[in-house]
Structure 1
């Protein structure tokens, strides 16, 4: 008889967490058959404990068959003094890997991989170009407090975030194992393209944060350098080359330290391609084409370093220089969110307003009211009169009305709805959802007429 633990996801239809310890006959799976589930452990800012000790303590906690928990987060056990003093939160990640087999994984099917980290609270540092006090790049030490929770807050089509994580893991593994780049080609360059407001830059920053946590045991230090592409083109074009050289000198100093993982983010990379195109047409000085060529050359030189990943974004897909597109290993289109993502974005907004008590559910909803997830709400019979199901249908209608809107626009919608209320100080959830429906229709109508 083998005792096994179930890791179950939240059943949002009734607002309860189904975290049940079950005893059942099961054959333990071999290690290579188990599903790897990442468990991220955030230490408190005041903790001076060794990460290895925290990791061992969490692994011992996970081995206890008497513990039950739901996918998403694990409460730090109050009886474990060491963990309560040193750990801020424990998060089960990779929910898309967990949510199969009817949304339940048995303990013997799972091999938890524990990642321990401590957030850097310093904030970004700036390097000024000198001419107009325009920052040529910002620099963060990762994992940064500023990006905490960003990855989880971003909602896209199924599989996009998992695809990016797996690509980066393969790229870094190939470099670590010394795969011959003459035989197998990879550049460690990611290009995210699509319309403005879809979260491309946020996704790049969140990906850097997530990778800095996942590869903490391999790299003792991680940094993100966000390049301001516009600042590289000085109004005195003779200075532009110096700005590029200064930028990459800084990056080269970082990557020369083998224990440091460096992420280089170039936002709106199409501005580089546009500058070269304008120079070729004769409308810009020829210096600009030399600057872009120099930038591409410097990016090529970074290929020789195994500890650097280049992340780029573009709002205008057709404007990207083909020479750059060819360098990108993975090109992912990030468009307006589909219906499931729109619903989940709005649901997360509403849940946050409930948490902050900006809006208050009615008494019949209960104190721990939770709106159903998209899957559950779609499966719920339309005639159901349960408060959660009624409100889920209202929110689903808002999500349908917002077709074509960006994630940025969707996250503004709850604020605009609240501002439209007659008495925003006293707002129950039902009234708020009615206001949200009206606001969504008004905003979409204004966008279509503009």
Structure 2
């Protein structure tokens, strides 16, 4: 018997919807099974779901949008999953629109110690799908979370098999490490919504603020911050993600302290952070996400605690093509690019013969060395410097895109020469 392909269907309910998540999930599953449509990553148009007036009414009254996600991450991916191949997994959630709230480390401090979001948040809506990596990085992170939950539920003895609920993403700036952490937190809060009825929370720690300008106060600030995190984790119905961006700022401080270039208070801060991480690993409803731009500065004591040490590098040509295509698709959506023909995806069989796709591949090849962050600026620069009108054709924009890449390459070469 053929193995079914997991198809994750995520249903965002409307803010005022009061129906139980499970009732919505059952109804959507019933509609999909009745319609027997094929699946690919993206938003499912309501018009394609049903012709039944009552079902239409149910959808319009209760559902914001329905999205199929992470088919591309499947090892069986071939662009489209037919209905009979699909193992449908429907998840329902509501977005929180309150935004992130900052909290100061101390009344005397001017730098916020952390920023807190209630998940899933409108701030991160669509972030996960916007991230493009050529390896199975996203699917591996989701599988890691699945195994973490399975081992906890199965009461696996952590003294025999060790896992710390810590992820370390490292690599050059602009490759999407922090965005991937936030996107993963959002995605897990959605996928685990039925498991954690109180919802999810993301705590982004400002590592620099943990070092107080007052000598010997830093350790107290660390304990105060993590004591709040422990209080959140004590709610077994809540899922908590802790993000420590640029974690090398902590571990590098400890190395400097050991070399005599930093006060001993720095050692106490780092030791306190590592101790708190060790304590949190016993809580099944927490994941610690960390990033670093400088791998040589990461202390081995911390590296040893990370279950996953994932390098996030610059995108290859396929990734660059996909990122640029997503930017072009957005400009088509808002009407800045107007054309009846859309550029096919990298996986689409028509891409090898499509003129626009071939031209975009040439541009993507010229973008070697650019990070994902830099790539998403190129379409803006193309319009600003070489289009300069409210709308244009696809032909003109692709021409402008190539010129913008040439200009950006020239500017970067000049900067390197001036170093």
Q: TM-score, normalised by structure 2?
A: 0.93
User: Could you list the per-position Cα deviations for residues 87-106 of structure 1 after superposition, in whole angstroms to 9, with x for gaps in the alignment?
Assistant: 11111222125684854434
| 2:348 counterpart SS class | helix
Q: Specify the alignment match of 1:10 in structure 2.
A: none
Deviates more, 1:112-121 or 1:168-177: 168-177
Question: Contact between 1:416 and 1:439, CA under 8 Å: does it hold in 2?
Answer: yes
Note the 1:33-432 alignment, pairs <5 A.
33-64=3-34, 66-72=35-41, 73-76=43-46, 77=50, 79=53, 80=55, 81-96=57-72, 100=76, 103-129=79-105, 130-220=107-197, 221-361=199-339, 366=340, 369-376=341-348, 380-381=352-353, 389-421=354-386, 423-432=388-397
The answer as to whether partners of 1:98 and 1:104 remain within 8 angstroms in 2 is no
- Contact 1:37/1:97, CA 8 A, preserved across alignment: no
**CA pair 170-279 structure 1, distance change in 2 beyond 3 A:** same
Asked whether the 8 Å contact 1:226–1:264 carries over to 2, the reply is yes
- Give CA-to-partner distance per residue, 1:85-132, whole Å, 9 cap, x none: 101111122212568485443433322111000001111111112334
Range with greater deviation from structure 2 (199-208 or 95-104): 95-104
Deviation per residue, 1:109-163 (Å, 9 max, x gap): 3221110000011111111123342110011111101111100000012311001
Deviates more, 1:300-309 or 1:105-114: 105-114
Q: Where in structure 2 are there 5+ consecutive unaligned residues?
A: none
Q: Is the 8 A contact 1:36 1:111 kept in 2?
A: yes
Distance 1:358 1:105 in 2: 32
Kindly tell me the number of residue pairs found equivalent between the two proteins.
406
Once the two structures are TM-superposed, the CA of residue 285 in structure 1 deviates from its matched residue by: 0.8
Distance 1:344 1:185 in 2: 37
**Partner-residue secondary structure (3-state), 1:237:** coil
Gaps of at least 5 residues in structure 1 are 1-28, 382-388
**What residue in structure 2 maps to residue 434 of structure 1?**
399
